[in-house]
Amino acid sequence: MEQLERTRTNAATDSKGQAFGLSGNLFLYPVIGVVAALSVATICFGVFRLGLLVSVIASLPFLILPIIYVTTLRNNKPKGYDRDWFDNLSSPAFSFVKANQPTNPRLKEDTHE
């Protein structure tokens, strides 16, 4: 009987998969953004009787912000990249980047001569 050929493959747990060009479940953020934008536009247009253009403009942030977030801070980036980016943006104190760290007051030279 012939020998079976063995090939190395990845386990299903190694790969998160891909949908719509986004890895893992990242496609959910833009899909939820589209649903939220449609809901806001419908509520503004139907309930509040705003114009169509005003309703669309009011719903644009719900559509654009999740897409920008996913494409710039989550897709094909290391785990925790988005949290580190927001932490670095919001925290002026400690940073792993040497240029962003405050100088240590104990290491300043004394000028008491």
Beta bridge partners of 45: none
* 32 found inside a domain: yes
Mean pLDDT of the chain: 84
**pTM beyond 0.75:** no
* 100 found inside a domain: no
Q: Could you give the C-alpha distances from 8 to 5, 11, 18, 28, 107, in angstroms and in order?
A: 10, 10, 21, 31, 55
The pair of three-digit structure tokens given for residue 34, joined into one six-digit string: 């589209």
E strand segments, the chain: 18-19, 22-23
**CA-wise closest residue to 16 among 8, 28, 5, 7:** 28
* 82 found inside a domain: yes
* 84 found inside a domain: yes
Question: What total number of domains does the chain contain?
Answer: 1
pLDDT tens readout for residues 26-64: 999 999 999 999 999 999 999 999 999 999 999 999 999
* 97 found inside a domain: no
| Domain enclosing residue 60, as ranges | 26-92
* 11 found inside a domain: no
